[in-house]
Amino acid sequence: MKFLSKPEVFKAIQLAKTLDETQGKKILADFGKQQVGMQQMLFGGFPQAIATLDQEMAHLFMDLGFEIICVYQSTLGDMPQNIATPKWMQEKMAELEAEIKKQTTASAATHDNTQIELLEYLTLAVDDFVGGRKDKQEAAMVVYNLLFLTTRLFDSIYDETAPTVH
């Protein structure tokens, strides 16, 4: 897996923020055709879970989910089609859950196997949105965890098609 630098993440985020509505809809439509399961998770299941705590945070998660798609596509290319089948996603989620359970400290949750620069941006975006409001804290914790999980799933999808180095 290619790990993204801060300039790569920044450039991709800036590009995502300059897209007009038509361009954004096309990216989402193409993503939905290529990755049905991921699209349902990012814009259905995860936001619904967050919305039970805070509707605004659910909307923020979807906005950041769109930016995640843009970052990966603009830096790593189009996502391989339909790798994230329901069975594949269940297996990866179980692997990630087992990995996370092994973590003994909060700082170990962001480790060598994920996109640190992207996660830092996402964390800052959530922190900025929450702005210290106590009523958003519980939903923010869920958003942080689901963003981490989302980036790990994206990494796994791109890993599936990366050439193996011997």
Q: What is the pLDDT of residues 21-71, one digit of tens each?
A: 999 999 999 998 888 888 998 999 999 999 999 999 999 999 999 999 999
Average the pLDDT over 10-19 and give the result.
Answer: 94
Sorted by sequence, the CB contacts under 8 Å of residue 12 that are 6+ apart come out as: 4, 70, 71, 74, 75
- What predicted TM-score, i.e. pTM, was given to this entire model? 0.84
102 vs 97: CA distance, rounded Å: 9
pLDDT at 146 over 80: yes
Which pLDDT belongs to residue 138? 94
| 62 or 132, greater pLDDT | 62
Amino acid at residue number 165: V
Residue 2: is its pLDDT beyond 90? Answer: no
| pLDDT of 100 higher than 80 | no
Q: Check pLDDT > 50 for residue 107.
A: no
Q: DSSP string spanning the chain?
A: -PPPPHHHHHHHHHHHHH--HHHHHHHHHHHHHH-HHHHHIIIIIHHHHHHTT-HHHHHHHHHHHHHHHHHHHHHH-SPPTT---HHHHHHHHHHHHHHHHH--SGGGGS-TTS-HHHHHHHHHHHHHHHTT-GGGHHHHHHHHHHHHHHHHHHHHHHHHHSPPP-
Q: CA 22, CA 3: separation in Å to the nearest integer?
A: 30
CA distances 147 to 23, 62, 104, 164, Å, are 23, 10, 20, 27
Amino acid at 53: L
**Token duo for residue 43:** 């814009």
